[in-house]
Chain A
Amino acid sequence: SQQGEEDPQALSIQEGENATMNCSYKTSINNLQWYRQNSGRGLVHLILIRSNEREKHSGRLRVTLDTSKKSSSLLITASRAADTASYFCATDAFGGAQKLVFGQGTRLTINP
């Protein structure tokens, strides 16, 4: 089955720096979504990018999608301590069921 895989598994940066996380998947998709999860909490939806889109922005977030490489990246600019969380990409299969397939996530730590 398809699976998103995030890279790196853990990232630690200083407050104010930019953070980039990557995601790869295996099969054709309808959409790719990024979620944030604070420790022990539910997932918060950040951004959805459709398979026919290449780039999308939302505030300090920038997401790119390269369907030829089956990969996506999430850039968080001017990071803040509150951005400390785990970040997951999730894909849903083109023409298939609506279930999301998640990777293992990137654990982001922002140091003050």
Chain B
Amino acid sequence: DTGVSQDPRHKITKRGQNVTFRCDPISEHNRLYWYRQTLGQGPEFLTYFQNEAQLEKSRLLSDRFSAERPKGSFSTLEIQRTEQGDSAMYLCASSLGTLTTDTQYFGPGTRLTVL
């Protein structure tokens, strides 16, 4: 399978715990994105990387959230001291990074439930 993969697919945690999600993009895709989707809503942008550089972060990404892409390949998204409001689907996407047309391909998502 050469698509975007995410791990784990589901995560249940207690409030106050830390969680970390992983995303493996399509090979040779330079750009990697994180989005969050709550029930009944469209995805909302969190952050994106061009290779290993994090170029933009949404205001949705509070200090409790941190994302890395250390070698320009896979990425991790960590949430510290989780809150019930963090419960959502966390989606990762990747794209080639061409100048004009830049289709983003999404992974299956990690569904987080904070009890």
Contacts and interface: CB of A to CB of B under 8 A. Distances in A.
Interface string B1-31: 0001000000000000000000000000001
Contact of B91 (A42, A45, A97): A42
A97 B48 contact: yes
Interface in B63-115: 89, 91, 93, 95, 97, 100-109, 111
Contacts of A90: 42
Contact of A45 (B58, B106, B111): B106
Given A99-B33, A102-B42, A105-B42, A45 B103 contact: yes
Nearest to A41: B108
B42 A98 contact: no
Central interface residue in B41, B93, B104, by most chain A CB within 10 Å: B104
Contacts of B42: 4, 88, 90, 102-105
The 6 closest A-B pairs by CB, nearest first: A102-B42, A99-B45, A42-B108, A43-B106, A42-B106, A97-B56
Interface of A: 4, 30-31, 33, 35, 40-45, 48, 50, 88, 90, 92, 97-105
Interface of B: 4, 31, 33, 35, 40-45, 48, 55-56, 58, 89, 91, 93, 95, 97, 100-109, 111
16 contacts: A31-B100, A33-B103, A41-B108, A42-B107, A43-B93, A45-B103, A45-B105, A45-B106, A50-B101, A90-B42, A97-B48, A97-B56, A99-B45, A99-B58, A100-B33, A102-B43
